[in-house]
Amino acid sequence: MSASAQVKRVSVPDIAARKGQEPVVILTAYSVSMARLLDPHCDCLLVGDSLGMVLYGLDSTLPVTLDMMINHGAAVVRGSSRACVIVDLPWASYQESPQQAFRNAARVLAETGAQAVKLEGGEEMAETVDFLVRRGIPVMGHVGLTPQAVNALGGYRARGRSDAEQQKILGDARAVAEAGAFSVVVEGVVEPLARTITENVPAITIGIGASPACDGQVLVSDDMLGLFGGFTPKFVKRYAELGDQISSAAAEYAAEVRSRAFPGPAHLFGVKKG
């Protein structure tokens, strides 16, 4: 039996039991290679629809398809052995009805081997969350700044600055948690609100631009590693600048190829004598 086969993958009940305990560590992953690197360090790997912007250069997550999510989700499952893998349901794959959501969520789990799906929305999605959970599909919710609703929200600004907005987001978090979501991502909200949500919902909360009081944290790996150039959101801490290192390495490679310094004798195959 291989070493990887002996590793017990973190389960949804394992994560759900972490409420108020050691914070849950989550990063995004979209490929086998990245999953292998992140797996030893993360409790969960999120195959986010952010891949549309990070990998495909799209302006938003809205054009991401179910097939894209399934292909990348399967790759992350193959590249990991320990972390609980959660796959986003993309825009328009679950909002029409609970039945539509079930068909597509079932496809995701069956075709990727992931442990759970994530969907955005609050009170309006509670019926769908309940429908999925009752049929054996673990659900992670997502409230606050919900990128799939960027057009309705009018952009990616922080949420919860008014009392009315705070009450709406708190109500959304309660609704999806009471419907059975084992976890709720709280994104881009003012810190006191994220703290209040964490204290008032039974599901574990996963912050991104929220509060250290949340039960866990998630970041887009490419942002955290300095691979995704351009604008850096306020809530992102860059733990490396790999983009600069990759550019520098590519420049050195290009210079050596043009000068014929690469390939050198150590990289060539000779003719065997005798």
Where are the domains positioned within the chain?
A: 7-242
Q: Does 7-242 carry CATH code 1.10.3720.10?
A: no
Q: What is the pLDDT of residues 148-182, one digit of tens each?
A: 987 777 666 778 899 999 999 999 999 999 999 99
> Mean pLDDT across the stretch 62-67?
97
Confidence at 242, pLDDT banded by 50, 70, 90: very high
3-state secondary structure of 208: strand
Q: Is the pLDDT of residue 240 over 70?
A: yes
Cβ(183)–Cβ(205) under 8 Å?
yes
Measured distance CA(24)–CA(154) in Å, rounded: 31
Across 31-55, average pLDDT: 97
Least confident of 189-198, 203-212, 264-273: 264-273
Is it the case that residue 19 has pLDDT exceeding 80?
yes
State how far the Cα of 32 lies from the Cα of 80, in Å rounded to an integer.
Answer: 8
Instruction: Supply the pLDDT for residue 274.
Output: 67
Among candidate residues 137, 138, 155, the one with its CA nearest the CA of residue 146: 155
Q: CA Rg, the chain, in Å?
A: 21
Mean pLDDT in residue range 100-126: 98
187 is catalytic: yes
Q: Is the peptide bond before 263 cis (omega within 30 degrees of 0)?
A: yes
CB contact at 8 A, 109 and 137:
yes
Instruction: Kindly give the interhelix angle for 66-79 and 98-112, rounded to the nearest 10 degrees.
Output: 40
- Going from the C-alpha of 248 to that of each of 19, 34, 244, 245, 258, the distances in angstroms are 43, 21, 6, 5, 15
- The answer, as to whether pTM is greater than 0.75, is yes
Listed in order, strand segments (DSSP E) in the chain are 24-28, 44-47, 84-88, 116-118, 139-144, 183-187, 204-208, 216-219
CA distance 190 to 14: 28
Question: Quick check: 222 and 228 in contact, CB under 8 A?
Answer: yes
Residues 6+ away with beta carbon under 8 Å from 262: 253, 256
Q: Which of 124, 165, 187, 256 is catalytic?
A: 187
What pLDDT is stored for residue 4 in this prediction? 45
Q: Please check the confidence at residue 29 and state whether its pLDDT lies above 50.
A: yes
**Per-residue pLDDT averaged across 253-262, rounded?**
98
Range in 3-12, 118-127, 196-205, 235-244 with the lowest mean pLDDT: 3-12
Region of 86 please: left (phi>0), alpha (psi -120 to 50) or beta.
beta
Q: What is the pLDDT of residue 229?
A: 66
CA dist 98 and 180 (Å) reads 14
Rounded distance between C-alpha atoms, residue 45 and residue 76, angstroms? 8
Say how far apart CA 203 and CA 214 lie, in whole Å: 11
> What's the pLDDT score for residue 99?
98
Give residue 3's pLDDT. 44
1: pLDDT strictly greater than 50 = no
Mean pLDDT estimate for the chain: 94
Taking residues 6-27, report their average pLDDT.
95
Confidence of residue 131 (pLDDT cuts 50, 70, 90): very high
For 201, the token pair is 């919902």
- For the cut 60, the answer to whether the pLDDT of residue 2 exceeds it is no
27 CB-near residues (< 8 Å, 6+ apart) = 38, 41, 42, 45, 46, 218, 219, 220, 221, 224
